[in-house]
Chain A
Amino acid sequence: MKNRDGAFSVAFLAPAFLFYTAFMVLPILSTVVFSFTRWNGISPPAFSGFSNFRGILADASYWKTANNTFLLVFFNLVGRIPVALVLAFLLSRLKRGLKLLRTIYFFPIVVPTIAIGVMFALFYNSNLGPVNKFLEAVGLEFLQRNWLSDVRVVLYSVMVPQVWRGIGFFVVIFLAGISAIPRELFEVAEMDGTPQVRVLVSIVIPLLWDVIQVCIILAVIQALRSFELAWVITGGGPGLHSAFLSIYMFRQAFFVYRFGYASAVTVTMLLYALVFTVIFKRLTSRREPLQY
């Protein structure tokens, strides 16, 4: 049997390998290659060196959407991770109802992003939507806005659902991490009457630090690639006021057929993710792992 394993392995790996290589790996590499070409999708791509990347440096629309994207990264971090940590910590102290609440918190992750986008588009509608109706009902009319056309708020309007939706994901991850912390630590703290805030800061966060790091990276990566919510809610508009790099790239590719330039934009998005991950891992790597 052993000597026939070679042929068997090839036969069993081949279908997955061929499909995966042709429709995943080659496209990834192609995007990198296309980023060095000028190409409208019809005539063959013409090698153009770094001209796309030089173009990006001088492209105000690119930097406008990059700025929006970095803002989303920021809010994705500060809006999700602390809230998720507190929720997971409180959940882990719960004796009953943990599973039900976890199921509820995770639920928005499972729902199609497009449906969530349409949902919020309905909520935000300035005349018909429940957001402004709610503000009216509770006497906060002065807060009413044209949520999707006022250029001062539209970016925040499309960021809210992204942050809201992603919290439960981190709650579940943190919860799994907390359940791996030895129970005795919490029992001792409870006997001492240590305030919960201290337990969270002095026990949970240090012991969960590795998991928190992973979630920080995840939050950044998810924000950098986020596309659908803004796409459905506003299409990135008005103008580019609620557009992220993903939307700019999509418009460049499939609206004005600048495939080479759009590929270059994609490559920069990947670079931001890689650079952040590498720097962050370098900064946070510890000499010795925390013992407990």
Chain B
Amino acid sequence: VSRFNTETPKEDSGLSAVKDVIAKTANVVFLLLFAVLTVYPFFWVLLSSVKDNPQIFGSPFSLPDRWVMSNYSRILEATTLGTNMLNSLVVSVVTTVVVLLLSAMASYVLSRVRPSLALYTYFTIGIMIPTQMILIPSFVLLKSISLLNTRLGLTLLYVVGGMPLAILLLVAHMRTIPVELEESASLDGCSRSRSFVAIVLPLSRSGLATAGILTFIHSWNEYVLAYIVISDKLRKTITQGIYQIRGEFFTDYGLLSAGMVLAIIPVILVYIAFQEQVVKGMTAGALKG
């Protein structure tokens, strides 16, 4: 600590207090500036989604002089985006449920029944693997079992992609449950599977919530695997849908903005409701590597 003490305050207290206020204000301004820089692009899209194109191009930075909702109705009528959203919802929800089930079972064994560092490493190494590394074999594999161009095939890939992070989070969480609870239950003749369902799962609620939220967000946002698996327009997911309408309507800014708002809203809602879990889970997954 002593090496930070070498400088003694030279100014009198009044002057340093003024300097202090200036410095603090500058800090806050800088922080707010970056917040604006972060939010403004999204805000611009949100505003543009309720303007018509002449307004967007004529006065791109002003508030809408009248609110136009037709972008939203047009996008749902003229494009398949509604169907794409529904596909994403189904794929993401099914993925989340299956990931939680399989990962909870595996994590229970890895954390409390037969801990094995080798197996734990085996499962969690997937966090560090870039999608490119599995792209071609996944395509070939799904083709060979006739699951190419199906939502089931895509879900399968998402399940496998979601398990590493879920197992990482769930093992960490299940380790913290006191072992005495299970021991006394086992003395009362409670089987492993019963104590999993009756004791460990209920006590893992917050871990399951974090893993589930992240799995949902990742599935909703995923694009590359969806691109190579699904080719049928009506089976495509939301990210594919957005990519597609950008190609078809690339000068129709109002329409595209509305589409982006629709694509972003579900994850925003999840994020706002569970931001603590989202932030912790995402950074934990990254730091593991």
> B275 near A103 (CB under 8 angstroms)?
yes
- B186, closest chain A residue (CB): A1
Known contacts A20-B126, A203-B4; A114/B113 CB under 8 A:
no
> B114 near A5 (CB under 8 angstroms)?
yes
A147 to B136, CA, bound (A): 32
Q: Is B156 an interface residue (CB 8 A)?
A: yes
A-B contact count (CB 8 A): 267
> B137 near A185 (CB under 8 angstroms)?
no
Least distance between A177 CB and chain B CB atoms (Å)? 10
Q: Is A259 an interface residue (CB 8 A)?
A: yes
- A232, closest chain B residue (CB): B243
Size bin of chain A's contact surface: 35 or more
> B136 near A31 (CB under 8 angstroms)?
yes
Known contacts A8-B193, A137-B61; A13/B133 CB under 8 A:
no
Q: Which residues of A contact B253 (CB under 8 A)?
A: 122, 128
Task: Please provide the chain B residues from 12 to 69 with a CB less than 8 Å away from any CB of chain A in the complex.
Answer: 16, 23-24, 27-28, 30-31, 34-35, 37-39, 41-42, 44-45, 57, 60-61
Per-residue contact bits, chain A 13-42, to B (CB 8 Å; 1 contact, 0 not): 101110110111111101100100000010
Q: Is B157 an interface residue (CB 8 A)?
A: yes
Interface size on B, residues (CB 8 A): 100
Q: Which residues of B contact A125 (CB under 8 A)?
A: 251
Contact among A41, A176, A269 with B132 in the assembled complex (CB-CB below 8 Å): A269
Least distance between B81 CB and chain A CB atoms (Å)? 12
The DSSP consensus for interface residues of chain A is helix
Task: Please provide the chain B residues from 177 to 192 with a CB less than 8 Å away from any CB of chain A in the complex.
Answer: 186, 191-192
> A23 near B141 (CB under 8 angstroms)?
yes
Least distance between A217 CB and chain B CB atoms (Å)? 7
> A31 near B192 (CB under 8 angstroms)?
no
Q: What are 28 residue pairs bridging A and B, where the CB atoms are less than 8 Å apart in the complex? A: A1-B191, A9-B114, A16-B102, A23-B141, A24-B160, A31-B135, A86-B30, A87-B34, A108-B38, A118-B242, A118-B260, A119-B41, A119-B260, A120-B41, A122-B253, A125-B251, A130-B61, A133-B61, A164-B37, A169-B282, A169-B283, A194-B7, A196-B27, A203-B4, A214-B289, A218-B289, A259-B136, A269-B130
List the 6 closest A-B pairs by CB distance, nearest first: A27-B137, A225-B130, A193-B9, A30-B137, A16-B106, A27-B134
